């Protein structure tokens, strides 16, 4: 997937539109986690250092009504960005119009401007998320070059990614986007072997496409999390009150048959009668979960099995926790997998966003992975082998 990057275009004296992912958590107007702003700094600094005018824009939350706008302005983000860059950042509280155009035209080389939440355009009809052609054309008219650095939205065709790119403006990947393409795209298409995929999370339905795509590409697929019990049921095991997708049991059976010995399921579980960290726990002797209990994590024998299966792996892609990691009694499986991956030598290790990324960061393993994806849904679709509209819209090399 050879796409042009920010290094392939001349930025001097250019108005550089940069679609960033500033969808940060806000509480009463205060940013509670600025990771996404920090992650965008290399691209923003590159524009500034190479004499470009950086015009930044992003969505923030979901906005469907005027009431939804409350607490969703990018103003606090612009202020935090100014602190991180150590220079002024102009904030324009508009998504279009004379004030925005004047501010853009008054920019000097090296200046930085942030304009308002792109989703504010969804209040009067889904102009942003519906990829309104006129809106894409308008935003494209503000700049000379378009840098897409928002991998988290690459699986959606919006006016702020596909809409702008489809006008013919030179469109390239920022450093963050390029990193995602390199790591996740190349891991799936041309991995160093052995290639082991670890899939967790609650639902089989969320991971069907990924499992089907990886059966032909991975050497092993380790399954954990809540979806384990749908597979167990397909094998005829008792699952007690564990989470199960009844309508996916037949499909789970098909996947087991199709994958053969590539598909590795847990061999024990940590169970409880209640979905609570204070409830008494029980470790099963095998796959079967006793009546009245629910499986909430993989057990110690499964951790040992998975650790052995990971030994010697050269490429590991992990998407989805092994249990309810937010509760300490059911976090051991996720911690065990983190440790097993962290101890691999000379391996490319990738977390595909979402809950598994949150788990690795929360548990203190963030620096033990080669790459942690910034996009949950986008990384899943890339693992499925799907074409992501936001990626497809970037100019090929």
Domain closes at, from 148, 176, 204: 176
- Other CB atoms within 10 Å distance of the CB of residue 94: 14
Predicted pLDDT at 158: 98
CATH number of the domain that 136 lies in?
A: 3.40.50.1260
Q: Residue 234 has which token pair? A: 């397909």
Q: For 305-334, what is the mean pLDDT?
A: 95
| Cis before 194 (ω within 30) | yes
Which of 147, 176, 205 terminates a domain? The answer is 176
- Distance, CA of 40 to CA of 18 (rounded, Å): 10
pLDDT in the model for residue 353: 67
Residue 319 near residue 201 (C-beta atoms within 8 A): yes
Longest CA–CA separation in the chain, Å: 70
36 is in an annotated binding site: yes
27 in a structural domain:
yes
d(CA 321, CA 338): 10
Does 20 share its domain with 123?
yes
Of 26-30, 86-90, 363-367, highest mean pLDDT: 86-90
Instruction: Report the number of distinct structural domains present in the chain.
Output: 2
Regarding whether 196 and 159 lie in a shared domain, the answer is no
CA gap 241, 381 in Å, rounded? 30
* Banded pLDDT at 361 (limits 50, 70, 90): confident
Annotated binding-site residue? 295: yes
What's the pTM value of the predicted model, to 2 decimals?
0.85
Residue 166 in marked binding region:
no
In a shared domain, residues 190 and 79: no
Of the listed ranges 77-81, 91-95, 338-342, the one predicted with least confidence: 338-342
Cα angle value 175/382/21 (rounded, 5°)? 40
Active-site residues: which are they?
Answer: 36, 203, 354, 377
Q: Stretch 129-140: mean pLDDT, rounded?
A: 97
Is it the case that residue 29 has pLDDT exceeding 90? Answer: no
In 3D space, the residue among 388, 347, 383, 396 whose CA is nearest the CA of residue 184 turns out to be 383
Q: Is 345 annotated to bind ligand?
A: no
* Among candidate residues 127, 156, 176, the one where a domain is terminated: 176
Indicate if 131 and 189 belong to the same structural domain: no
Residue 60 labelled as part of a binding site: yes
Q: Is 356 annotated as a binding residue?
A: yes
Q: In terms of C-beta density within 10 A (0-12 exposed, 13-18 middle, 19 or more buried), how is residue 255 classed?
A: buried
């Amino acid at each position: 997937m050879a796409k042009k990057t920010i290094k392939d275009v001349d930025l001097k004296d250019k108005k550089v539109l940069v679609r960033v992912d500033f969808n940060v958590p806000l509480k009463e107007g205060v940013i509670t986690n600025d990771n996404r702003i920090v992650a965008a700094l290399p691209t923003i600094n590159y524009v500034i250092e190479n004499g470009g005018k950086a015009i930044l824009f992003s969505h923030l939350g979901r906005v469907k009504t005027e009431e939804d706008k409350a607490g969703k302005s990018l103003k606090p983000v612009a202020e935090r960005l100014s602190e991180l860059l150590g220079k002024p950042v102009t904030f324009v509280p508009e998504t279009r119009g004379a004030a925005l155009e004047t501010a853009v035209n008054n920019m000097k080389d090296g200046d930085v401007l942030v304009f308002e939440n792109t989703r504010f355009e969804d209040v009067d009809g889904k102009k942003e998320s519906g990829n309104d052609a006129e809106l894409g054309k308008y935003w494209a008219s503000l700049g000379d070059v378009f840098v897409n650095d928002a991998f988290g939205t690459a699986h959606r065709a919006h006016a702020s990614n596909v809409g702008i790119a489809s006008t013919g403006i030179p469109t390239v990947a920022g450093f963050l986007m390029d990193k995602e393409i390199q790591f996740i795209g190349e891991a799936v298409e041309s991995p160093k072997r052995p290639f082991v995929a670890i899939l967790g999370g609650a639902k089989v339905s969320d991971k069907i496409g990924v499992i089907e795509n990886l059966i032909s590409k991975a050497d092993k697929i380790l399954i954990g999390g809540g979806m384990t019990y749908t597979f167990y049921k397909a094998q005829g095991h008792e699952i007690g009150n564990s989470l199960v997708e009844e309508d996916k049991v037949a499909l789970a059976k098909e996947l087991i048959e199709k994958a053969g010995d590539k598909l590795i399921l847990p061999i024990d579980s940590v169970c409880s009668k209640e979905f609570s960290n204070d409830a008494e726990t029980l470790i099963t002797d095998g796959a079967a979960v006793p009546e009245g209990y629910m499986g909430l994590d993989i057990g110690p024998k499964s951790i040992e099995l998975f650790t052995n299966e990971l030994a010697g792996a050269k490429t590991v892609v992990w998407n989805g926790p092994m249990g309810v990691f937010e509760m300490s009694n059911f976090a051991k499986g996720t911690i065990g997998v983190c440790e097993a991956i962290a101890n691999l030598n000379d391996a490319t290790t990738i977390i595909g966003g979402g809950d598994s990324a949150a788990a690795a960061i929360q548990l203190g393993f963030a620096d033990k992975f080669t790459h942690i994806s910034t996009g949950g849904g986008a990384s899943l679709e890339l693992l499925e082998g799907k074409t992501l509209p936001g990626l497809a819209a970037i100019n090929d090399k």
